[in-house]
Structure 1
Amino acid sequence: MPIISSPYQRKIWFSAESSNTVVNNFSPKSYFDYTLTYHSKSDAIFSYARELYNKTIFLQTDGDVILKSKGILRIAGFISNCKTQSRREDFIEKLAKYTQVDIYGKCSKNLNRISFCEKWDNICVREVIEEYPFHLVLENSMCDEYITEKYYDRFYYNSIPIVSRRKFYSKIVPNESFIALDDYNTGKEMVNHLQYLIDNPLRYLNYFEYRKSEYIPMLDQVKLKSQRGVYGLCDLLKKNKYKRSKKKIENVVEEFGRMSECDSADAISKMLNNW
């Protein structure tokens, strides 16, 4: 990493992962000019939602199609990182006490499900998930706006996603399109509500009502265009092409941590113990 650079040179700090994964990384003080991360407070945004830009996506609205194979309460999850900061594995273990939770991928205890779908085979993943009324979208960290391909690649699947904390999603995706762990005081209370939705198909279908709207926040093309990763960064650099570098981020790791607002290990433990 060069110590001395031209006053017209810009240095970019990039992370597509949560701030929890970089908290111990060394970063020189007052060195970087801009940030490029998934968070909207970054100078340029590398959002996982960028994959939706310029794509034609069909959103199923036919209730009979959505309800196919949804008569029994079951939860699916594709998980390959078995020990996480968010402790999703512990939340899943609690859920499994009260209902059927089928895990696919490296973290499955069922040998037949470890390699059930080839890596990047989204067609296979979709076929599996749509056999379940609910599927897990629990990230490896609980951080504001940290929403990865686990959500965006599957938001058009005919299955209701289960996320960690509502506040991390409600600013970005349709608020009535998902279920959050912290909507409930305990895992048992959550499972009771999921069973209620299974027993009342019209209430279940309410989670897909957003698809009938002409305006879906996460599909806002103007917003997505501004989240073009390196393309957005290039636009930023062009605007400042002939300007001397004035802005220096004193401590970029701490700055990223502040904008990410990740739950601490203690906060997650408290939530888990009470849940």
Structure 2
Amino acid sequence: LSHILDTENRHTNITILLWYWPFRTPYSLAGDPCREMYGIPGCHLADNRSLYSTADIVVFHHHDLKAKRQKLPLHLPRSGAQRWLWLSLEAPTNNGNLDPYAGIFNLTMSYRPDADITVPYGKLMRSEAEPGVFTVPRNKTHLACWVVSNFKKRHKRTAVYQRLKNTIPVQVYGNAVKRPLDKNALLPTISRCYFYLAFENTESPHYVTEKLWRNSFQAGAVPVVMGPPRTHYEMVAPHHSFIHVDDFESPEALGRFLTDLAKDEKRYQSYFAWHRNSTVKLFSDWRERLCNICPVYNTLPYKIYHNLTAWARG
């Protein structure tokens, strides 16, 4: 990784060209979305490749490169001022081989706090309303539930689930068990569960996805988390808002704890105390993620990732 801070060429109007839409799902760029939707002026989003030569940043979503649905335009001339940005919200173990991208990209965009532009799946916000009492959903009919689409025996979460289900009843939904939930049914279904198994498919550092922010917090279920260490969850989640699998000597011990906790209304409701003065913000709109490049653009040094693999696995 090499870098030089560009202090002489500070931009006030920045053009960000998205070479292709992530997962082939386009959003409207009509008007001035960065200013109108997110209060970020001087930030122009584009998906018209004819603007390539004048774009300050060109963004490439890695998932589509890995799936070979898209290719890098290496045949096109590239100005020295233009920066290419590698975007991935996947854990390192899911990114595949990055060696072919050595010496190509200037910026990284990821959920990781050490990325050039950090875009988390969600974050905690101070509530603008007066402090109040959060009402825990009263329609709890299941002890625990889990929505899973990627069910593989090699995942640690699979082994934990297999043992946990022998101790407590777990309602399982999702494509993996042929019980899919559409987006309108997801949160209402989870709200009927005391606990949600927010099990990530990897234990990669800082990899905390919508399983915590949306499926648990927004549904009104206490998350039982598995993924990065507890300390990484504590960096982003409210105090006393989750239960970490690693805090228990076995899945069976975890199951007994959950059973007892659900029976104690006062203790159970204490996991929702943070709602009194905080709320959750989700980052799911690609336009918002891209617009957030502009406020930090002029603080970013010009650099080249000569070994993207080493950074992604670091």
TM-score, structure 1 length as denominator? 0.74
Q: 1:57 to 1:166 in 2, by over 3 A?
A: farther
Partner of 1:139: 200
For structure 1, the residue ranges without an aligned partner over 5 or more in a row are 222-226, 259-275
- Report the alpha carbon displacement of residue 150 of structure 1 after superposing the two structures with TM: 1.9
Matched AA of 1:252: L
- Report the alpha carbon displacement of residue 46 of structure 1 after superposing the two structures with TM: 2.2
Verify the 8 A CA contact 2:155 2:201 in the aligned structure 1.
yes
Q: Deviations over 1:105-137 (max 9, x none)?
A: 1222xx6xx13x32x22xx12221121111111
Matched AA of 1:61: V
- Report the alpha carbon displacement of residue 36 of structure 1 after superposing the two structures with TM: 0.6
Q: Structure 2: how far apart are the matches of 1:173 and 1:247?
A: 32
**Tell me, what secondary structure is at the counterpart of 1:11?**
strand
- Report the alpha carbon displacement of residue 86 of structure 1 after superposing the two structures with TM: 4.0
Matched, 1:68 2:138: yes
- Report the alpha carbon displacement of residue 158 of structure 1 after superposing the two structures with TM: 2.1
Partner of 1:204: 268
**Tell me, what secondary structure is at the counterpart of 2:303?**
coil
Partner of 1:82: 151
Q: 1:203 to 1:163 in 2, by over 3 A?
A: same
Q: 1:77 to 1:205 in 2, by over 3 A?
A: same
- Report the alpha carbon displacement of residue 149 of structure 1 after superposing the two structures with TM: 1.8
Partner of 1:11: 84
- Report the alpha carbon displacement of residue 75 of structure 1 after superposing the two structures with TM: 0.8
Q: Deviations over 1:153-202 (max 9, x none)?
A: 23132211111042331111113101111010101111111122122211
Matched, 1:35 2:108: yes
Larger radius of gyration: 2
Q: What is the Cα-based RMSD across aligned positions, in Å?
A: 3.2
Q: Structure 1: how far apart are the matches of 2:236 and 2:97?
A: 28
Aligned mate of 1:181, from 245, 255, 270: 245
Partner of 1:224: none
Matched, 1:231 2:291: yes
Verify the 8 A CA contact 1:47 1:229 in the aligned structure 2.
no
Q: 1:171 to 1:100 in 2, by over 3 A?
A: same
Q: Structure 1: how far apart are the matches of 2:278 and 2:263?
A: 30
Q: 1:84 to 1:163 in 2, by over 3 A?
A: farther
- Report the alpha carbon displacement of residue 235 of structure 1 after superposing the two structures with TM: 3.2
Aligned mate of 1:97, from 143, 166, 185: 166
Verify the 8 A CA contact 1:197 1:204 in the aligned structure 2.
yes
Aligned mate of 1:248, from 265, 285, 304: 304
Higher relative contact order (CA 8 A, sep 6+): 1
Q: 1:57 to 1:250 in 2, by over 3 A?
A: farther
- Report the alpha carbon displacement of residue 73 of structure 1 after superposing the two structures with TM: 6.4
Verify the 8 A CA contact 1:22 1:253 in the aligned structure 2.
no
Indicate the percent of aligned positions where both proteins have the same amino acid: 22
- Report the alpha carbon displacement of residue 76 of structure 1 after superposing the two structures with TM: 0.5
TM-score, structure 2 length as denominator? 0.65
- Report the alpha carbon displacement of residue 205 of structure 1 after superposing the two structures with TM: 1.0
For structure 2, the residue ranges without an aligned partner over 5 or more in a row are 1-71
Partner of 1:47: 120
**Tell me, what secondary structure is at the counterpart of 1:27?**
helix
Verify the 8 A CA contact 1:23 1:257 in the aligned structure 2.
no
Q: Structure 1: how far apart are the matches of 2:168 and 2:120?
A: 34
Between the two proteins, the alignment pairs up a number of residues equal to: 234
